[in-house]
Chains A and B, each alone.
Chain A
Amino acid sequence: MKKIIVIFGLLIGFLIAQKSDLKNVKVLPYKTKRELVKFMKSVVAPELGVKCNFCHNMTDYPSDEKDHKKVARQMMAMVQNANKTMNNLNFHEISCWVCHRGNEHPDHPPKKK
């Protein structure tokens, strides 16, 4: 019985398996999961003081179902744009830390217009 279940499972796996490459990455420039995970682990999570589940569905990382992930994507695009300007002005690159300082929300958010 066990053998039948395992063979059946393997067959299902073969039939519906997908390539194990990056999915739903729209803003970040990374080509491999390893590079992406390293960036998230060493930059995004500590600079925002959050854990993965703040933005991600833990059983489906590529999913956009959490609003925090959509906001994070916009923030990253904003930082990339800012860094283009910074590079032109010969300034150091900036990251989430510049505003967030290890907090989910910056202590001093921009004043409302």
Chain B
Amino acid sequence: MIHRLTKYHHLLLFFIFISTPLLAIPRFALESGSSCILCHVDPSGGGLRNDYGISYGLDDLSYRTPDRLSSYSGIIFSHFQFGGDIRIQSVSKQKDDIPVGLAVFPMQANIQVKNEGKYHTTLVELATLRKDVGFQLRVNNLIPNGYFKFGLSKPSYGLKVEDHTTFIRGGNIQLVQGNHREGMPFIPTLENVGLMELGFYFGDTFISISRTTDGYILGSTETYVGRIEHYRSFRSFQSVAGASFLFEGDLQMFSLFGGLSRGNLSWMGEVDVAENWILDRSIASYSEFTWRLKKGLFLMGRIDFFDENMDFTEDAIRRTTFGLNYVPLPFVDIKFQIRSSQLTQGKQSKGLEFLSQLHLWF
């Protein structure tokens, strides 16, 4: 009985912790050769799509677009745009390395509303599963080719990949290596904090600098975050390179990220180093290849790495993931993934994990 309770406990914690904040798919930015604001209302990416983003979803992303959806704009009452992201995930339940069933749970149910005037854009987000709210007012023409944004939100750091279990984001909620933490601090339960952000666009370069009123990660002192990214096209290649930093008291983080895309092939990667996150200096990396087989159908392969004390021989985890991503219709995104973790010091891994996710957005 005690054993059963513990299992349910873990499952319950997993459900609660996994409610995802708004995240983006940086590969689309790379392939389009522009920063997140090309498709998203929030310049930091994720969440509500703008006119271009909706058009991209309808025309370029999905396998087919029914006529009745082709004029979708998300506009209600002619003044407001309404949108949302719903994710439902299933993970295989293991028993002695053998999958014995599926745990299905809601992962995200966010609703966003936007309105805009000549000089401003207002965005409200309701993360219903986490019972958190976000709000940002962006003043557009205060700075030439830039913006000033304030409200309740999250600072933008590194590649905000949509999978929060990558080690560069939040990593493993259920520890597999027995470390203190298995991933960087960006777990899904981080709440929106008071934020001021300045953003500048210089041609194909985007720079953002933000400061929070409270601690974003540790909750102690204010957080300072900076990020720069540069997009470049040469011949038939699209590329992006960038860096970011985050300072919050003793916690210091730096990241380098980049990507290269040509035709149907894309690669994106990031390396993060954190001082005083767990033990002295921790490192996480992410490297993902994607191959577009045909419109709406993608194959991916990814390697994530994490070491809490950067000695590479103890407490390190390497996770290999293969997946299929199918977008049969606009606003419907289905993912299947198989994962395997390799642990150092001869520790036994959990065996293969099977994940699937249904993502609906509008």
Asked if B59 and A18 sit within 8 Å, CB to CB, the answer is no
Please report the C-alpha to C-alpha distance between residue A38 and residue B55 in the assembled complex, in whole angstroms. Answer: 7
Asked if B117 and A18 sit within 8 Å, CB to CB, the answer is yes
Q: Which residues of chain B have C-beta atoms less than 8 A from A98's C-beta?
A: none
Please report the C-alpha to C-alpha distance between residue A44 and residue B81 in the assembled complex, in whole angstroms. Answer: 26
Is A33 among interface residues, defined by CB-CB distance under 8 A? Answer: yes
Q: Chain B interface residue count: which class?
A: 35 or more
What sequence of 0s and 1s flags, for each residue 147-180 of chain B, a beta carbon within 8 Å of any chain A beta carbon?
Answer: 1000110000000000000000000000000000
Please report the C-alpha to C-alpha distance between residue A10 and residue B72 in the assembled complex, in whole angstroms. Answer: 24
Is B75 among interface residues, defined by CB-CB distance under 8 A? Answer: yes
Q: Which residues of chain B have C-beta atoms less than 8 A from A67's C-beta?
A: none
Asked if A17 and B133 sit within 8 Å, CB to CB, the answer is no
What sequence of 0s and 1s flags, for each residue 216-243 of chain B, a beta carbon within 8 Å of any chain A beta carbon?
Answer: 0000000000000001010000000000
Partner of A9 from B52, B55, B124 at Cβ < 8 Å: B124
Task: Tell me how many residue pairs across A and B have CB atoms closer than 8 Å.
Answer: 110
Q: Which of B89-119 contact A (CB under 8 A)?
A: 115-118
Is A107 among interface residues, defined by CB-CB distance under 8 A? Answer: no
A48 to chain B, nearest CB (A): 13
Q: Chain A interface residue count: which class?
A: 20 to 34
Q: Which residues of chain A have C-beta atoms less than 8 A from B115's C-beta?
A: 13-14, 17-18, 20
Q: Which residue of A lies closest to B71 (CB)?
A: A34
Q: Which residues of chain B have C-beta atoms less than 8 A from A12's C-beta?
A: 120, 122, 137
Chain B residues with CB under 8 Å of chain A are: 32-35, 37-38, 43, 51-52, 54-56, 59, 70-73, 75, 78-81, 115-118, 120-122, 124, 133, 135-138, 140-141, 144-147, 151-152, 192, 199, 201, 203-204, 231, 233
